[in-house]
Amino acid sequence: MTDLRPTARALRTLDLLQHRPGVTAQEIADELDVTERAARRYVSLLREAGIPVEAARGRYGGYRLGRGVRLPPVVFTASEALGLVMAVLDGHHAAADPQDPVGAALGKVIRAMPEGVGRQAATVRRFAAAAPDRRADRPDPDITSALVEAVGDQRRVAVDYRSASGASWRGEVDPWAVVVRHGRWYLLCHAHRTDAVRAYRVDRIAAVEPRQDRFRAPDDLNPVALLEEHLGRGWPYATRVVFDAPADVVARYVRPPMGRLDPLDDGARCALVGTTANPVMYAGEWLAAIPLPFRVEGGPELRGAVGELAARLTAAVGRATVPGR
């Protein structure tokens, strides 16, 4: 597991100082799994940020926050508190479990709320049951934190990646953005190994190592739109679907990952051209939901998937019985 970044470790050090006045550098080091020298560095970071941290020498010495230090309270309205709990449960269904890391963090937030507001939030958390999203793949928080920090600093990183096929590689990327799409986290970046824009699943990144090189993300970058466009390209199976309708009509039902729409016959018809990694899903979930006449012209894998789907549905109708017969 990738280590926490310095800022996160400094915040963890602050938490230790709040709850364990007199904590020693060695105890901080043990808690953070770092050296004693590194622990002293995180104390220095807090001091540089204007937080008075006092040190006492001797047998019973240690660190403690200076007198008068007060962190500003976070005040929620009832709607904000309930919205927060609902959003966490919606995005992380194990958050109802106090043993889960996110669940433990949510519990701390609820306990810090005013009694009336906190009681409502705790009730929602206790009695709301959430079914896990099987399509969601949650990345390692430390990996995600390192990537987000690199995006903010516009600093190149080296990543260890494992593809869906199981192939592993290591390469340097310029991280442009981290995008969450339908329960999955993606790193949108410029990959130097291919000299091209790539979208990597964050849950498949095993390690992140910052580099000294800096980069500048495109000024007109729209991370969500670029990710959607990218997800429709570069997959192993080509697709071409012709619709007997203009492109502006078909576009209401087509998402960017399905491909691009090219006008045909002076705009009377159009062709949806793209690629996919899953022809069966493309046919059964995407094409089947479009209420317009179409014809699959390519590739062979998609044609086969549509044919199998059509045969299955035709057989289902053929087995139907008429009441009274």
- DSSP letter string, 250-303: HTTT--GGG-EEEEEGGGTEEEEEEEES-HHHIIIIIGGG--S-EEEEE-HHHH
Question: Does the pLDDT at position 208 exceed 90?
Answer: yes
Which residue, 42, 65, 88, sits at the end of a domain?
Answer: 65
**323 falls within a domain:** no
pLDDT digits (tens, 9 = 90+) for 110-135: 777 777 777 777 777 776 666 666 65
Cβ atoms within 10 A of the Cβ of 106, count? 23
Residues 6+ apart with CB under 8 A from 163: 169, 204
Q: Are 279 and 255 in contact (CB under 8 A)?
A: no
Confidence class for position 7, pLDDT limits 50, 70, 90: low
Query: Please, what sign has the CA dihedral across residues 23, 29, 35, 40?
Result: negative
Instruction: Report which of residues 165 and 291 the model is more confident about.
Output: 291
- How far is 19 from 102, CA to CA, in rounded Å? 20
96 and 39 both lie in a single domain:
no
203 and 263 both lie in a single domain:
no
**138 falls within a domain:** no
247 and 293 both lie in a single domain:
yes
Instruction: Report which of residues 138 and 278 the model is more confident about.
Output: 278
Per DSSP, what are the bridge partners of residue 243? Answer: 270, 294
Average pLDDT of 180-193?
87
pTM, full prediction: 0.57
**139 falls within a domain:** no
**152 falls within a domain:** yes
pLDDT at residue 253, as a whole number:
93
Instruction: Report which of residues 276 and 132 the model is more confident about.
Output: 276
Domain count, the chain: 4
39 and 88 both lie in a single domain:
no
Q: Which domain holds residue 48?
A: 6-65
pLDDT at residue 67, as a whole number:
66
pLDDT at residue 129, as a whole number:
64
**141 falls within a domain:** no
pLDDT at residue 156, as a whole number:
96
pLDDT digits (tens, 9 = 90+) for 69-80: 655 556 677 777
